[in-house]
Structure formats: structure tokens, C-alpha cells
Amino acid sequence: MLLGKEGKGTELAMQIIVKLGELYGAQRLIPISQVHIDGCLYAAVGEAGLLFAEKLHNLGAKVRVPTSLNATSRDIDNWREHGVDPEFAEKSANLEKYYLSMGAVPTWTCAPYQSGIIPRFGEQIAWAESNAIVYVNSVIGARTERYGDYTDICCAIVGRVPDFGLHITENRAGQILIDCTHLKLIPTTDYFAVLGYLVGEIAKNRIPVIKGIPHWVLGDHLKAFSAAIASSGAVALFHMIGITPEAPNERTAFQGRKPEATYELSQKMLQEVERKLSSIERTQVDGALIGCPHASVPEILELVKLMKGKKVKDNKELWLYTSRAVYYTLTLNGVIEELNQKGVKIFKDTCFVNTSLDKWNFKNVMTNSAKYAHYIPSRTGLKVVFASLDKCLETVVE
């Protein structure tokens, strides 16, 4: 591949992968079975990302393993209703076209573990998108490093990665112990989002082992936890004793080593994080945003229950983001139409902080996602209130 015998696009991708391996002192390359790409998000990669994809496309590069695509910068079928600027939408469309021409699968979601190309425990893969990396490493137990824009597509083109970091068993050992046994845990995604945000702040770039999480915890709680831990910290992997597959007990999670430090969490610490995630009062919001990461089928069915006999207030907005797989599934049984009738706007393929929404003139928004609460002020200039789903609905629904 390096000699260009498999085409110029593959040669360029392999040069980049070899350089990455050299930077990390890797001794060899290992095969991977699949890739999840984040570089398809125009709002994140901009003109440079567009040129890079165009170059690979022009050089004839093709992905070598099943490759899914992250959220894109527009709802592909519905971007006008979403208020996206036409010029911006065109750039996004071009970027989408290049990734599809290289053979990637149009999943268009930041929660690829809910639908699409899902690995098994222990599988060597290369995923980008911070929440997805944490979830797939921790909850599924597949193995990926924190790949990012540009390297992700190169991994897909050569079907190999340097053998470094979290691909190697010893590097997956827990480093710090987080004790939740004194918390009164609540089974909601916003509670686990706050918990994840707090653990990310403490862990920074270390691997936390969390004890005291009960068995009723759901995949959607761990999704919210994964997105939050990767927003406040540079975390790519956590272990939860008795919950995640590499942590049947403390000894296994730490691979027989001693924790570098132990942190006991309190209710007060969680309250402090919750307070920090909001920049204004609840009453002032223009609308509520849910579905970061993209909403799952159970989350949308829960919303249907909560919306029984209610509708969105005339002067407020309720926006939900999901994948096209979930959207079309729930179109078939009438759920999407039912929510639309109640004034809920449902967008697929994309995300509030990664598109262009100038026409709406929003000033303040509300969300039950810690990741949205973290990024909305810096990425959109809007103020944000972080609250539970119940409180979001209380505010925008009558």
C-alpha cells in the first residue's frame, strides 16, 4: 500500500497511518473489522475537511472494511424546514457525497451503537466521535483508540491501525476508583449525564473504575454517561463494576494493580455540576432540545407517553434529534406523525450544534443532555439551561 500498488488514495492513507504509528511508538499495524467516521461533519471539519475528502475521492480511495458515518451538518431530506443556510447545505452535501463515493454507509448518526455496524466484545475497530468511542470501548468492550477527523477515513481505507493505546490489553486497566456507593442514584438519563460529567472532570485523561452502580442501569443511561464523561474529560474508556464487560469485579477492572487514587462522590458534588451546566434561568428559554446523542427507540417511546394529552406551546419549540434508522422505523408505526401533530419537530441525520440555524433567532435553549449543555454556549453563542426531561417538558409543553 505504501508503494502505491493499490492506488494513490490508499498510498496517501497508509502514509498517514504509518506516521500516526511512529508518533505513538507502535511496533506494528493490526487489522480492524470496522470504522466509524466523524470527518463527514462539515460544521466540524470545514473547508479543510472538504478538500481532504475530495482529494481522497479524486485519488480513487475506497474503504476496505464496513464503515459507518457520523451525524452530518443537515437533515438530508428536511434541511430547509430546519432553517439551514442553502450555501452551507450545499457544502455539507458535497462532503457527504465524497464519503459515500468512498464506500461508507449512510448511517448519519452519532449513536452508531444503536443501529448500524455494531462490533462484539473484544473486536479491534477504529471509531471516531467521542461519545461513541467511550460507549463502544466501555459498554460493548470492543477496542478503539480516540480516532479523529482525517485519521478515521485513513483507517477505513487501509483496514489497519497502529497497535497502540486502547487496542492493547494492558493499557485498558483502570487507573482511579470512583466510589458511588453513598449516592442515591436515580434512573434517568439526565442523572447519569450529570454523574458522567462529574466523573470526566475528576478523571481527566485517566481510566476510571466506577463502583456502586445498580443493575437497573439502562443502555440509554450509559449513553448519556458516555457523552458527558467525554465532554468534561479526555476519557475514552471507563469500567463499571458488575455492569461493563471488562469489570466483573474490582481486581479484574484494575488488572490486579492498585488504583492511583480513590474519589468518593457525594450528592453535593452532583448538585454543583448540575448548577454549572446551566447559564440562565429556566423560564427564559425559547425551546427545548433532546436527542444528544441521537435518541433511541425507547427514549422516543417514553416521550410519546409523556406527551399524552399535551402539545408544544405556541410560543415554544421542542426539537428532537435522532438517526434515520430510528426515524424511519418509528415512521412505519405512526409514532413520528403522532409527535409531529403535537408540535414536536423531529430531525434526523444531524445535530443542533453542528448545523446552521441563524433564521430561528434563538437566544436561550433548554436540554436534558450534558453534552449539549457543555457545547451549546461555545458552538452557538446561545445560553443554555440543563434540566431533566420532565422539567424541559414542563417548560415548553401545555
| Contacting positions for ligand F3S (CB under 6 A) | 71, 110, 131, 227, 292-294, 321, 351, 353-354, 371, 375
Q: Taking CB positions, which residue lies at the least distance from ligand F3S?
A: 351
Shorter beta-carbon distance to ligand F3S: residue 167 or 324? 324
Q: Cα(105)–Cα(278) distance, rounded to whole angstroms?
A: 36
Shorter beta-carbon distance to ligand F3S: residue 353 or 365? 353
Shorter beta-carbon distance to ligand F3S: residue 150 or 352? 352
Min dist. Cβ of residue 286 to ligand F3S (A):
18
Q: From the centroid of its chain, how far is CA 340?
A: 25
- For residue 151, give the C-alpha cell: 485519521
CA angle 147, 151, 157 (to 5 degrees): 115
Q: Is 8 helix (H, G, I), strand (E, B) or coil?
A: helix
Strand partners, 384: 365
Q: Do the Cβ atoms of 393 and 306 come closer than 8 Å? A: yes
Helix 370-380 with 189-203: angle, nearest 10 deg: 70
Q: Do the Cβ atoms of 172 and 244 come closer than 8 Å? A: no
Q: Do the Cβ atoms of 55 and 193 come closer than 8 Å? A: no
Min dist. Cβ of residue 351 to ligand F3S (A):
3
Min dist. Cβ of residue 323 to ligand F3S (A):
10
Helix 389-396 with 297-306: angle, nearest 10 deg: 50
- For residue 85, give the C-alpha cell: 443556510
How far apart, in Å, do the first and last CA atoms of the chain sit?
61
Shorter beta-carbon distance to ligand F3S: residue 32 or 193? 193
DSSP3 helix / strand / coil % (the chain, rounded to 5):
45, 15, 40
Shorter beta-carbon distance to ligand F3S: residue 1 or 292? 292
Q: Which residue type occupies 308?
A: K
Main-chain phi, psi angles of 136, to 5 degrees: -70, -35
Min dist. Cβ of residue 228 to ligand F3S (A):
10
Min dist. Cβ of residue 99 to ligand F3S (A):
15
Shorter beta-carbon distance to ligand F3S: residue 102 or 110? 110
Min dist. Cβ of residue 372 to ligand F3S (A):
6
Shorter beta-carbon distance to ligand F3S: residue 354 or 364? 354
Min dist. Cβ of residue 40 to ligand F3S (A):
11
